[in-house]
Amino acid sequence: MDNLDVRNLKKRYFLWLYKTTKEAFDKYERKFTQTDIDKDILHEIENTLMGAYLPHEKAELEKLVNKFKEYISAKEKTCLELKYQGLRTNPEFIFLDVKLNAIERLITKELGRRALAEFKALYEKEMTQRILRSTEPR
């Protein structure tokens, strides 16, 4: 096995490590990001609907807005329960954060900044493709 073979083995292993660790870490972080976006959407909806509809429409629209508020609230509660255990941060979250940072530093050290950027781009492409392939209604 020559140096190129060894480098390729390392590269594939680092890619696998990055992907699996990033997926696990994103399990925590994505819900917070989604909740922030949902709140922004709610704000836009409320601004658009404020005083713009007839009374019989307004009652139904308020029900839908309230249902969306409840959805956001439930998602936020789930996020907090996942990331925190009482007043303490979930040790698994801390570990995954530290592990992901260590993997990124080692990729940069072993393979260079371009390799890390490539891995991040590949990961983003894969996650985007998963979303686009998903047929599950929301």
State residue 52 phi and psi, 5-degree precision. Answer: -100, 0
pLDDT by residue (tens digit) across 15-44? 999 999 999 999 989 988 999 999 999 999
Q: CA 114 to CA 11: how far, in whole Å? A: 12
- Of 99, 66, 78, 87, residue with least CA distance to 28: 78
- Of 130, 120, 134, residue with least CA distance to 14: 120
- The mean-pLDDT minimum among 34-38, 81-85, 112-116 falls in 81-85
User: Does 116 reside within a domain?
Assistant: yes
User: Does 138 reside within a domain?
Assistant: no
Residue 82: give the domain boundaries. 3-132
User: Does 87 reside within a domain?
Assistant: yes
User: Does 137 reside within a domain?
Assistant: no
107 by Cβ neighbours in 10 Å (0-12 / 13-18 / 19+) ranks as buried
16 by Cβ neighbours in 10 Å (0-12 / 13-18 / 19+) ranks as exposed
pTM of the model: 0.81
State residue 89 phi and psi, 5-degree precision. Answer: -75, 140
pLDDT by residue (tens digit) across 44-81? 998 888 776 777 777 888 889 999 999 999 999 998 88
Total number of domains constituting the chain: 1
Would you say residue 137 has pLDDT above 70? no
Q: CA 15 to CA 118: how far, in whole Å? A: 9
